[in-house]
Amino acid sequence: MQTSKAAELRRIWGNKTCDHPNLEKEYYNGASTGDYVCTQCGETKWGDNWARMERKTIKG
């Protein structure tokens, strides 16, 4: 997913909560940024397992 598309997703999704069910590699001008984007809300963080780590953190 392109960074521009991720930004658009974030704008559309707004402040709703998201459990980040699916992550996709982020690309900028065809090059991987090393970040992964949630395909639902557009949140972007480093690494391919941040959503899983966050869910673990929330559960304690």
**Nearer to Zn ion (CB atom), residue 16 or residue 31:** 16
53 contacts Zn ion (rule: CB under 5 A): no
Separation CA 40–CA 22 (nearest Å): 7
18 contacts Zn ion (rule: CB under 5 A): yes
Separation CA 56–CA 58 (nearest Å): 6
Three-state secondary structure call for residue 31 = strand
- Counting residues that bind Zn ion (by CB under 5 A) gives 6
20 contacts Zn ion (rule: CB under 5 A): yes
Three-state secondary structure call for residue 25 = strand
Q: Under the rule (CB under 5 A), what is the footprint of Zn ion?
A: 18, 20, 38, 40-41, 43
